[in-house]
Copies of this chain bind each other. A is one copy, B any other.
Amino acid sequence: MALRHAVLTALLAGESTGYDLSKRFDASVANFWPASQQQIYRELDRLHREELLEVTVVEQEKRPNKRVFRLNERGRGELAGFIREETKPATVRDDLLVKVAALNDDNGTEIAAAIRRRRSSAEEKLVLYEHLQAAALDGSTETEFLERGHGAGLYLALKRGLSFERENLRWYDEVLAVVAPGATSADQ
């Protein structure tokens, strides 16, 4: 029941269409609450039906009309309530870990290959996160930024994403050292 709260949180940054939200999601909230475009449309419809969002329809001649959603007071109240509720435990689901757990004498090289592929997408993600971080800081030091207080929450969440990906990379290398000893992580 918490995609709704992720959506409301994303709308804190300002009103948005479903289409735009799903992109904003990818660049911020998706890190700890992934959602497809379809899920977001569905959730926006629901939230609107339950009157937690206001909508303005922007007519467009050559394209489908836009629906621009924004938080209303009830929406903000819902978020405030969510923050007071019990926090559910985090869940991680990772195919790669299932593969590694199933390691045996026959599948080592295939698992190593899977890890190398994952390793490069993790590197890309890390670069992306580092850019987002630099953009957020915009020249300030982290201490300055956090003292100012603006956007501290999203920034801190981003930092968790950063350390998650860094630990992933570390762990990928650790596993590669076991399943493909000899090959260094520089080998692609």
Contact B98 A111 (CB under 8 A): no
The chain B residue with its CB closest to the CB of A170 is B163
Copies in the complex: 2
Give the number of chain A interface residues (Cβ < 8 Å).
Answer: 62
- Nearest Cβ distance between residue A71 and chain B, in whole angstroms? 11
Closest B residue to A121 by CB, please name it: B89
Interface of A is mostly: helix
Instruction: Give the nearest-CB partner of A93 in chain B.
Output: B91
Q: Are B152 and A171 in contact (CB under 8 A)?
A: no
| Per-residue interface assignment for chain A, residues 21 to 36, with 1 indicating a CB less than 8 Å from any chain B CB and 0 otherwise | 0000000110111100
Among A44-52, A56-64, A77-85, A129-137, the stretch that binds chain B is A77-85
A9 CA to B174 CA, complexed, in Å: 21
Asked if B9 contacts A101 (CB within 8 A), the reply is yes
Q: Pick from B34, B87, B110, B157: contact of A83, CB below 8 A.
A: B110
Which of A's residues lie within 8 Å of B, judged by CB? 2, 5-6, 8-9, 12, 28-29, 31-34, 79-80, 82-84, 87-107, 110-111, 114, 117-118, 121, 146, 149, 152-154, 156-157, 159-160, 163-164, 167-168, 170-171, 174-175, 178
> Does B175 lie within 8 Å of A92, measured CB to CB?
no
> A125 CA to B121 CA in the complex, in Å?
29
Selected contact of A101 from candidates B29, B121, B163, B171, CB within 8 Å? B29
